[in-house]
Structures are given as C-alpha cells and as structure tokens.
Structure 1
Amino acid sequence: MLIVNAGTDAELAVAAAQAGAAVVRDMYGASLTRFEKSAGDFATVADLEAEKVILDVIRTARPDDAATGEESGRTGADGTERMWLVDPLCGTLNYAVRNMLVAVNVALRVGTDITAAASADPFAGEVFWTDGERACVRRDSVDEELRPSRESRLVDVNLDPPFPNEPGFRAARLLTDTAFAQRFRPRVVSTTLAVAWVAAGRRAAYVTDGHLRDSVHFASGIALCQAAGCVVTGIHGQPLHTGAGGLVVAADQETHAALIQMAGNQVPL
C-alpha cells in the first residue's frame, strides 16, 4: 500500500493505525478463521490481514526500519535503532464474539524511547496519537488535545495472564480491596484501548501485571499517557520496566498513590 507524503513518524503511525483499523472494521461480523497460538490464545484472519496492511504502510514509507508484529514477529534489518511495534487487533477475543471493544496499536521505538505512537478505535472512528510531546485524539481529521481526569473514578484492571508477580501481587485482588471499592469503580474491557482512555480522561487509571518493555500491546498506550501528563510507573511505584514490572497509569498523583498503596498491601510483610 502506497502512502504518499507520510511526513513525520507520528503521522505515519496514525496512517498505519488507521489502515489497520479499516481492515478490522470491514471484517467485523464475518465468520473468521482462527489460528491457535498458546494457552488458549488465538488470532483471526482479521489480525493477520490488519497486520499485513499496517506493515505495508510502514515499509513503504520507512523501508530501512525494522518492525515487530504481534503475529509475524520481527522483520527488517538487524542493528537499526528504529523499531516499529505493531499490535493489529488488541482485543481479539472481544472481536471474535462481535464485541467492538478493540484497538489497533502502532508505536515507534528509537533507541530506548517510544517517539511516536497511535492507538486507533476502529468503531468510534478515533485515533489517539502522540509525537512524544503532544497527545491528541483525531476525529474526522480534527485533533483535540488529550486531558487526563480522575473524575470518572473508573479504573480498568487487566485480569488476563501472565501473572509474573504472583503470589505477591495479582491485579484481580484489587477488586476485593475494601479501599478500592470505596474509592473507585472497576472496569474490565480486555483491550489496551483502555490505556489510551486514561490519557483521554475516560478512565481514572489502569493497572496490569507483566513485563511490558517493547510490548506491542502496551507501547502505544504508555507513550500516550506519558505525553498527556499521566503518572506512569511499575506496580510498586518504581520506574517503568524495572523491578517487579507491571503498570499503574493514573490521571493524577493522588489516584496513583492510592493504587500503589493498595498494590503494596498485597505483599506479605
């Protein structure tokens, strides 16, 4: 697929995510072949087709860059500092049962930094994007700055494995914490679209376990939240991608501090 005048890396991320989102939207509701992976996970033909289109957009505009796709793995030249991270359909199980809560994620890592990213919602017609400094949502070709907010009190919790920090921490146990129930309202949408929603003020926070460095699922959402001014750390408040890993991203310091305290309460003294 030829993209003319791709411009900046951020615009290329947006174009690639929108191209993938168009495939996801067009194939929605069809009877889709499933390709089994591991531990009950699977991909559909929509995942594969969306990833192919996204990678075609990127390779046409940046032929010397490398890429890592959720379905196809790493491709491109060795030794390059520029690596595109592609999750063509985050929320495959939702999508397979005709649930529209999905995201198409594209991010560019240059060296150790994510410098451009986009998360597209195929069904709302929105794409959340950042160039590493600004964070915006694009609707009908109009950009609006993302503004985090804790007002909803909604906290999205990822309940899917793996759980590398068991038994010391498990995100699901937050839901039974009395302090959590008094302060927040849990949500589980099972797609990293919810991470972008923290940047957009539609969630107060997001919590997950796991080691997320170079994650095709989380790189875009994390970059969006950082650029929007959210508080982004590991599950115990440590710098991201260090120690126990995991992710707590919150709209503000107060919300973040409360969740870090609750996570710490799970650790045996």
Structure 2
Amino acid sequence: MVAHSGLITVMERAARKAAPRIRRDFGETEQLQVSRKGPADFVSMADRRAEQTLVEELRKARPDWGFLLEEGGTVAGDPVKPRWIIDPIDGTSNFLHGIPHFAMSLAVQEPKPGSGGWGEITQGLVYQPLTDESFWAEKGRGAWLSDRRLRVSSRRDLGDALIATGIPHKAHGDLERWQKILDAVSPEVAGVRRFGSAALDLAWVAAGRYDGFWEEGLQQWDIAAGILLVREAGGFVSDFRGADRALETGQVLAANDGLQTKLHKLVAGAIRT
C-alpha cells in the first residue's frame, strides 16, 4: 500500500464524506432544486451541499487555511498558509441530466512568499463518487489511482492518439475558434472525445486513458488538481502558447512528451489563422 501525506488523507476523507449525498441526489435528479447562475450554467442544491460538506471537513483539519470555491468564491485565510481550491461537482450539467460522468476536484495551492499572490499546486485529488475512483497526486511523489501508480500513455504517433476536449456552449467560449482547432486536430488523430468534465479529462490523461487534452475558458477549480495529476504522471501541461501558465490563463494543453509538441503545433497553428 502506497503511503501518502496527511493532506491527501484529509482530502480523500472529505470527498468520501460528501459522496453519499451526491450519489443519492444523482439517483433523484428529477427532484433536484435547480437555479440558474447564468446561461447554460446550472448549479444544483447538490452542488451547494457538497461544497458545504467539503469546506466543513477541510476546515476541521486546517482551520486557518483559505478557500477558492466554485460556488462560494474566495474565503480568506492566514495569508502565509496554503489554500484549498475546490470544485464540488465538476460536470454539473452531466449530473443534472443523469449522465454518470462527474467528479469532485480538490487541490492545495501554496502562497508566493512576500507577493500576496498564489503559487504552485502541491496536492491534488479528483474523486469520482459513482465509480469510487480516487485519482491523487503530490508534487514530487507521483500520481496515483488509489494505490496504483499512474503514467501517461506511451503513444508517440498522433494517428494512434485519442484526444479529449471541451466544446464551448451557450454564452461560454469562442465556438468559431474552437472549430478551427478541431478542424486542425481531428484529421490527425484517432478520435476526439467530449465528455463534459475537465477534471476527469485530465485525470484520464494522467491514467493513460486519453493521450491528450485541450480546452480553454476553464476556471482554476476545474483544472488545479488535474494539472498536477498529469505532470506527476510524467506528462506535460501548457497553455496554447506553450507557456507554463495554464492555471492563470484557463487554457490547457496536456499530453505525454511524445505528443505535446505535435499537438501544440496543431493548436497554435489553428488559432493563428
């Protein structure tokens, strides 16, 4: 059994505490109270309850840490201590439509000394409550699915690669720009998939289920844990310019070392036209 830090234990315990209610609500999607917080951007009572449970459990363990929350926004903590970045249900639209593809995403972000800003992600967890799959990573200690070490895929030929993406939807993102990228990528690869959860997409890249992933317009809570998972599984993550600024820009391009440059050339070339 692989040994992980106390923080991963805290994160997994919090996720498992929130999971039973999420599973019950998922089984009763027609009864969920749903409100709109923007066009095609739904938030359910299940989302709010899950976030509340996660916050309560994490606060017990680290009462002086702050939060960046999908629903609750920024909650200040001790400025010299890390903060939690939390998405209680990444893939809410799937959840509300009865599609069993969504996950919790939890990450730890360190403060930048003396800057008042935020720096690297050091722990990440993506938990799928329906399959009980727990993808976790710690900086310098690898990426894992429960107690099994994860590695990105070893494919080197784009023609053999399965690539994931996210499609812009109503009031979110630039569909014309995305279409240009798709037109450049799809003829070169074995297939393109859109399942609707960036956190799980990145976890699946780390697990070698996907060979690569691109999407933009993402929020930090969507991708913080997933970026660390891919990197600790031996993969590479950049923004569309090839810079190490995916978390700041919300642009994510992820793949193994053999496909990252090839995929980047296709994406960068498409958005220059």
What TM-score comes out, normalization by structure 2 length? Answer: 0.85
Structure 2 CA distance for aligned equivalents of residues 15 and 117 of structure 1: 13
CA-CA distance at 1:210 after TM superposition: 2.8
Alpha carbons of structure 1 residues 135 and 69: separation in structure 2 relative to 1, 3 Å:
same
8 Å CA contact 2:102, 2:197 repeated in 1: yes
Structure 1 CA distance for aligned equivalents of residues 249 and 86 of structure 2: 25
- Where do 1:171-210 residues align within 5 Å? 171-177=178-184, 180-192=186-198, 193-210=200-217
Structure 2 CA distance for aligned equivalents of residues 54 and 263 of structure 1: 36
Report how many residues are paired.
253
Point out the more displaced range, 196-205 or 108-117: 108-117
Alpha carbons of structure 1 residues 7 and 61: separation in structure 2 relative to 1, 3 Å:
farther
Number of the residue aligned with 1:3: none
Number of the residue aligned with 1:29: 27
8 Å CA contact 2:14, 2:54 repeated in 1: yes
CA-CA distance at 1:150 after TM superposition: 4.8
Give the partner amino acid of 1:163: G
1:254 counterpart = 2:246: no
8 Å CA contact 1:66, 1:80 repeated in 2: no
1:16 counterpart = 2:14: yes
Give the partner amino acid of 1:159: I
Q: Which runs of 5+ in 1 are unaligned?
A: 1-5
8 Å CA contact 2:34, 2:45 repeated in 1: yes
Structure 1 CA distance for aligned equivalents of residues 125 and 249 of structure 2: 27
1:71-122 Cα distance to aligned partner (Å, 9 max, x none): 1122242524311011000011101010001010010101211111100011
Point out the more displaced range, 231-240 or 122-131: 231-240
1:23-80 Cα distance to aligned partner (Å, 9 max, x none): 3212112111112112331101110111111111100111111112111122242524
Q: Which runs of 5+ in 2 are unaligned?
A: 112-118
Structure 2 CA distance for aligned equivalents of residues 110 and 244 of structure 1: 18
1:212-232 Cα distance to aligned partner (Å, 9 max, x none): 5xx111101011111111011
Number of the residue aligned with 2:74: 74
Structure 2 CA distance for aligned equivalents of residues 234 and 245 of structure 1: 8
- Where do 1:106-125 residues align within 5 Å? 106-111=106-111, 112-125=119-132
Structure 1 vs Structure 2 CA RMSD: 2.3
Structure 2 CA distance for aligned equivalents of residues 24 and 62 of structure 1: 24
What TM-score comes out, normalization by structure 1 length? Answer: 0.86
Identity value in percent: 26
